[in-house]
Structure 1
Amino acid sequence: MSTSFDAINAANRRYEELFNAGKLDELVNLYTSEGKVLPSDKNKYEGREQIKKFLQAARDAGMDNLQLTTETILEAGNDRLIETGSYQHSLGKGNYQVIWKRTSEGKNEWQLEIDIFN
């Protein structure tokens, strides 16, 4: 049986694959429709269109070879998980925290709801 850690770790592998391939139209669908990205630039990007613009700007700035390391998963009720991890890419490294939302009741299908990183 797949654990929450396994599900999120697999979702992170998919995120890396799509980002590194520049498939941002597919990547933004890993976020909920009202998803938020809160990066260290002190801005807030809400919704898939704004998130896509943020991610495209990151790629345009030379960000590539994204690698995510899932470290801890905390269950927060039946439909939320809180993930803490670290990342590295061609421009640097840092830490992140993601709140994941269950998208199909009774299944281990999760989407990023709030994505925070430094």
Structure 2
Amino acid sequence: MIKLIVTSFLSLLIMPTAVLAGDLEAEIRAIDAKVQQLQNTGDAASIAKMYAHDGVRLPPDGSRIEGREAIQKSFQDAVDVGVTNVKLELTDVNGQGDIAWSIGTYSIDVPTGENEISTFTGNYTIVYESDSDGVWRIRVDTWNDDAPEE
């Protein structure tokens, strides 16, 4: 359950924003920075608003999370267990028309015991859609954890 909550807090991972002048990569990088801020301040409600009304999260080893209310709950669950220090690193972005996608890596800190913090790392993929007002909304996001170190 903690793994689902931890990974639910990710994805982000990326917050939609009004389309600005400039290239798509710069726009997505700005979205990443805003999502990091909201995740690290525990603002699950604002993150959920960045998804399409029928947005979908596909957590590893977990059930499909669909719709803003369920998405907000998944982020709030992560806040409640103490997920902190969310870092997103965009590695690839592309798009065509009103659809864009990104790939990146993440790391997060999660309480794993009394006075213990573990850092989880992994990869994410996000699909965005620009709505009629030119605002990028997350349609689908998914992520996976890196293999544990041995």
TM-score scaled by length of structure 1: 0.90
What amino acid sits opposite 2:142 in the alignment? Answer: I
Q: Is 2:132 the counterpart of 1:100?
A: no
By how many angstroms is 1:110 displaced?
1.1
Contact 1:101–1:110 under 8 Å retained in 2: yes
By how many angstroms is 1:71 displaced?
0.9
What amino acid sits opposite 1:89 in the alignment? Answer: I
Runs of 5+ consecutive residues of structure 2 not aligned to the other structure: 1-20, 111-119, 145-150
1:117 aligned residue: 143
Q: Deviations over 1:46-86 (max 9, x none)?
A: 011101111111122221111111111121x3111110101
1:89 aligned residue: 108
By how many angstroms is 1:42 displaced?
2.6
TM-score scaled by length of structure 2: 0.72
Count residues in correspondence: 115
Alpha-carbon separation, structure 2, partners of 1:20 and 1:37? 19
Alpha-carbon separation, structure 2, partners of 1:104 and 1:5? 20
Alpha-carbon separation, structure 2, partners of 1:71 and 1:101? 19
Stretches (4+) displaced over 4 A: none
Alpha-carbon separation, structure 2, partners of 1:36 and 1:54? 11
Report percent identity of matched pairs. 28
